[in-house]
């Protein structure tokens, strides 16, 4: 029987690449999204992957959404916590709401989703959780105290939960992408983007598929000895 995966923020950008890569390995994928109904419908029509709308920052919505996916596709074996938002600004200009929304979605979403699926994974003695962090959670970034804090928190969350899941064959890992060629990065002004690429030793932006292939490895049986790890995929921009 095919494994069942939920990819949050799975209908666009890195999330879409992850959804498609998992589907190609024979996994039944459900992709969540937060806002764009038309884009989600087009994604499902194009890929055959079911899309579910809920806010990962909402605890009850995650409980209900995961239960619905399980009822329609089978118990959830894999969760990729990819959904994330930005509300950039220096701390002098950042509102409490800007802080709270980013923390609730980017970090709180990891807790909410894990809380919904971890008990079942543990009882079935198989599970894979992959949390998408960021180079900016490792190195920090001007004007992103909220985003950097949330993404940094993901790396600690990953290590702690991995210790809880290890003896039950539930692995928990993180990936910290650098600058990836997605719509979000494409919106960066050309002169700023040129400066970003100049700081990447390999001399280019990453591709969403490069993140997705790493996710598929961590989610397969062959990745079962990897847990509590953060894999940096950033073209050498940040090494430590």
Interval 161-192: pLDDT, tens: 999 999 999 999 999 999 999 887 877 888 88
Query: Model-level pTM?
Result: 0.95
In a domain, 49, yes or no: yes
Q: What is the pLDDT of residue 183?
A: 81
Pairwise CA distance, residues 127 & 78, whole Å: 6
Q: What is the pLDDT of residue 75?
A: 98
For the chain, strand residue ranges (E) read: 4-7, 28-33, 50-53, 78-81, 127-132, 170-177, 230-233
In a domain, 238, yes or no: no
- The CATH code of the domain that includes 70 is 3.40.50.720
In a domain, 240, yes or no: no
Q: What is the pLDDT of residue 92?
A: 97
Tokens for 84, please give them: 């994330």
Q: Are 70 and 85 in contact (CB under 8 A)?
A: no
Those residues whose C-beta lies under 8 Å from the C-beta of residue 195, and which sit 6 or more positions away, are none
- Orientation of helix 59-73 relative to helix 108-124, angle to 10°: 40
pLDDT per 10-residue tile (average), the chain, 240 residues:
94 97 98 95 98 98 98 98 94 97 98 98 98 91 94 97 98 96 82 91 96 98 96 91
Indicate which residues carry an active-site annotation.
147
Instruction: State the total domains in the chain.
Output: 1
Q: What is the pLDDT of residue 171?
A: 98
Q: What is the pLDDT of residue 236?
A: 92
Domain that holds residue 143: 4-233
């Amino acid at each position: 029987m095919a494994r069942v995966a939920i990819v949050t923020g799975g209908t666009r950008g890195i999330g879409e690449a992850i959804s498609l890569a998992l589907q190609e390995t024979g996994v039944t994928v459900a992709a969540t999204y937060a806002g764009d109904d038309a884009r989600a419908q087009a994604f499902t029509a194009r890929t055959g992957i079911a899309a579910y709308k809920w806010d990962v920052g909402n605890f009850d919505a995650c409980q209900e959404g995961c239960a619905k996916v399980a009822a329609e596709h089978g118990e959830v074996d894999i969760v990729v916590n990819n959904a994330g938002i930005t509300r950039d600004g220096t701390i002098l200009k950042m509102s409490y709401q800007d802080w709270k929304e980013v923390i609730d979605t980017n970090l709180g979403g990891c807790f909410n989703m894990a809380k919904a699926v971890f008990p079942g994974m543990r009882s079935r003695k198989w599970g894979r959780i992959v949390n998408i962090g960021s180079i900016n959670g490792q190195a920090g970034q001007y004007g992103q105290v909220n985003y950097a804090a949330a993404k940094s928190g993901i790396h600690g969350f990953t290590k702690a939960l991995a210790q809880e899941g290890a003896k039950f064959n539930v692995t928990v890992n993180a990936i910290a992408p650098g600058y990836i060629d997605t719509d979000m990065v494409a919106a960066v002004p050309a002169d700023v983007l040129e400066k970003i690429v100049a700081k990447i030793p390999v001399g280019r932006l990453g591709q969403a598929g490069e993140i997705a292939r790493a996710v598929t490895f961590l989610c397969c049986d062959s990745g079962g000895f990897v847990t509590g790890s953060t894999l940096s995929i950033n073209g050498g921009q940040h090494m430590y």
